[in-house]
Amino acid sequence: MCGIIGYTGTASAVDVLIEGLATLEYRGYDSAGVAVVTGNGDPRVRVVKRAGKLANLREMLEGTWLDGTTGVGHTRWATHGEPSDRNSHPHQDADGDLAIIHNGIFENFAELRAGLAADGHEFASDTDTEVIAHLIGRSYDDAGVGGDGADGAVALAGAVRTALRRVEGAFAIAVVDRRSPDTIVASRREAPLVLGHLDGASLLSSDVAGLIRYTRDVEALLDDQVAILTPEGITVTDLDGNTTEGHRYTVDWDIDVAEKQGYPHFMLKEIHEQPGALHETLLGRTRDGRIVLDEQRLDDDDFRHLDKVYVVACGTSYHAGMVAKYALEHWARVPVEVEIASEFRYRDPILTQHTLVVAISQSGETADTLAAAAHARAQRARVVAISNVVGSSLAREADAVLYTRAGPEIAVASTKAFTTQILALELLALFLAQLRRAMFPDEWRDQLRRMETLPDLMEQVFGQETAIRQLAASVAHASYVMFIGRQVGLPIALEGALKLKEISYLHAEGFPAGEMKHGPIALIEQGGPVVALATAGHVRGKIVSNIAEVKARGAMVVAIATEGDTEIKAHADHVIYVPDVHELLYPMLTVVPLQLLAYFIATELGCDVDQPRNLAKTVTVE
């Protein structure tokens, strides 16, 4: 969702903010804005904001002199109020003394707005954020402790705490105020906010990527903590004003990982980073002859005695969960249900202390997945998190964590997070199989060895990139694309369709191949493209029959098949080959041509690949 950034130090705030917003723009790009405290003798908070992408704000700033060394910046994914200049952040209080940026939703804003309006407050936008700006402003005035410098900072932090005690919902906010010109006050509840410590300056950001240019010494703020940032350092309190601290750690990756490095788009770069990401995710997974998780706050017996696994996730992560079901059931011999996180807690699932809930989230901040995990824990179920972000909310709240080590994923369309999630989930399946004695040691060791070959095998798939690009040019102007698969091919068919629709806006759907004749086959038109997952395995013969059914009705079939399968050419118009692997490992290879196909179709159609319309990375609202 929205990206927020804040800086207080000695450099030009606006330069730092714009650079940070460029890194955070993947989180939302409906509008962008900054607020900077300007003027030494008589400080003022100046706000510059513009609907549309960051480029529009940059253009506006070119003719604007914004000196000042303290400020906040925002890039928006609209929730309340259409994307427009007036709904853009930052928002100000009634007197224009302070400005606030916000990621999340204040759920009781309508009630608060009505109360303030009854007292004569007028609002310039439709947003929930502006209501909180007014509420903080009023709390400040009511406390009657105005003043400059340190006193101003104390008063601002007090006003923020008072206001936040009245709000419901999920948020990360940052506030600047002319009465405390070198201070930012920030807080969060169920939305990410990371603080950056460095000499002579302090920073905040929605994620580490916004800070890493300046510091590796970061601190994740926890729910209902309030941070007071000045150039001299950061103090953290709870909502009652008692001193406390967040989760402080050192970042171990470099800024160049979060840059394009010569690729035209982050998505293509991240597709190509997958072999390396798989390799990293596999490193050091055994200790003393045992598979290990990254963090485990559970006893081995908790895993031994579980009788049911729920996998919960959203979007692409949900598709990784679908693949995991096959591995968990086959290797660990435990029944598994895979569920969309936003549905899970609303249907009263049966959860006990013997239930394991595996929550998958690249960002570790997706609101629905966090809520599903919290619901599971409240019912005494155990939660294992699969996340790509060390110290993310999901990782902190889970009983055990297995990290994907994909590095920062910037493109909105998830690629390297997906393949590393599958790998991590399959490692979890082997871990459970080992503890539950569902596999012999040489069996799980064999599987680990096979996994270690995946990075090299995946490199071979890139050998067909030119052919996939040519295929994309011929498919790009179709009115739809269908994807069909069976067994582990089904989640990949769904993922191939999701990837294509989200970045190219082409109508794409994935179907279980056996279901086609129960309805969807009616959609097939002469020459209509159907991509079929047809790799070797016990369902290959079945999928070939399904290919014949769509072919007989005029489909143009693209088969993803196993190298050496020349027979498939008799059934398909185009074949893309992947190397031969164990059946459960295929998804990590077969998805790569589909990611490339989606990418090349989107570029052929001139779409904004890294920032598709209506979307944002990290969905921190329900």
- Closest by CA to 410, choosing from 610, 612, 620, 194, is 610
Stretch that binds ligand F6R, among 74-82, 303-311, 359-367, 511-519 (CB under 6 A): 359-367
Interface with ligand F6R includes 487 (CB under 6 A)? no
Interface with ligand F6R includes 274 (CB under 6 A)? no
- Burial (0-12, 13-18, 19+ Cβ within 10 Å), 42: exposed
- Closest by CA to 424, choosing from 507, 311, 522, 535, is 311
Residue 222 makes CB contacts below 8 A (sequence gap 6+) with 188, 246, 247, 396
Residue 38 or residue 392: which is nearer to ligand F6R going by CB? 392
Residues 229 and 237: their CA atoms lie apart, in Å, by 12
Both structure tokens of 430: 């082997």
- Closest by CA to 33, choosing from 3, 63, 11, is 3
Stretch that binds ligand F6R, among 59-67, 153-161, 312-320, 581-589 (CB under 6 A): 312-320
Is 395:370 a contact under the CB 8 Å cutoff? Answer: no
Residue 22 or residue 615: which is nearer to ligand F6R going by CB? 615
Residue 308 falls in the annotated catalytic set: no
369, 393, 434, 447: which one binds ligand F6R (CB under 6 A): 369
- Active-site choice (49, 325, 499, 617): 617
Strand bridging mode 382-387 / 400-403 = parallel
Stretch that binds ligand F6R, among 93-101, 132-140, 310-318, 427-435 (CB under 6 A): 310-318
- Where in 599-618 is the site for ligand F6R (CB under 6 A)? 618
177, 182, 426, 502: which one binds ligand F6R (CB under 6 A): 502
Residues 477 and 252: their CA atoms lie apart, in Å, by 44
Interface with ligand F6R includes 315 (CB under 6 A)? yes
Is 546:532 a contact under the CB 8 Å cutoff? Answer: yes
88, 230, 317, 342: which one binds ligand F6R (CB under 6 A): 317
Interface with ligand F6R includes 314 (CB under 6 A)? yes
C-alpha pair distances (Å), 528 with each of 69, 225, 466, 477, 484: 58, 55, 22, 10, 13
In the complex, least distance from residue 194 CB atom to ligand F6R, rounded to whole angstroms: 16
Interface with ligand F6R includes 339 (CB under 6 A)? no
Stretch that binds ligand F6R, among 18-26, 44-52, 194-202, 314-322 (CB under 6 A): 314-322
Residue 88 or residue 317: which is nearer to ligand F6R going by CB? 317
In the complex, least distance from residue 521 CB atom to ligand F6R, rounded to whole angstroms: 27
How many residues interact with ligand F6R (rule CB under 6 A)?
Answer: 15
274, 414, 434, 487: which one binds ligand F6R (CB under 6 A): 414
In the complex, least distance from residue 190 CB atom to ligand F6R, rounded to whole angstroms: 14
Interface with ligand F6R includes 419 (CB under 6 A)? no
Beta strands in 480-538 (DSSP E): 480-485, 507-512, 529-534
316, 355, 504, 546: which one binds ligand F6R (CB under 6 A): 316
Residues 520 and 146: their CA atoms lie apart, in Å, by 67
Measured N-to-C along each axis, helices 489-504 and 315-332 cross at an angle, to the nearest 10 degrees, of 170
- Give me the amino acid identity at 423: L
In the complex, least distance from residue 612 CB atom to ligand F6R, rounded to whole angstroms: 9
Residue 2 falls in the annotated catalytic set: yes
- Closest by CA to 232, choosing from 259, 281, 262, 197, is 197
Interface with ligand F6R includes 413 (CB under 6 A)? yes
79, 230, 361, 590: which one binds ligand F6R (CB under 6 A): 361
Is 323:360 a contact under the CB 8 Å cutoff? Answer: no
Site string for ligand F6R, 61-80 (x = CB under 6 A): --------------------
> What is the phi-psi region of residue 236: left when phi exceeds 0, alpha when psi lies from -120 to 50, beta otherwise?
beta
Stretch that binds ligand F6R, among 301-309, 361-369, 441-449, 506-514 (CB under 6 A): 361-369
Interface with ligand F6R includes 422 (CB under 6 A)? no
Interface with ligand F6R includes 619 (CB under 6 A)? yes
- Note if the bond before 587 is cis, omega within 30 degrees: no
- Active-site choice (2, 325, 416, 499): 2
Catalytic residue numbers read 2, 617
- Interface ranges with ligand F6R (CB under 6 A): 314-317, 361-363, 366, 369, 413-414, 498, 502, 618-619
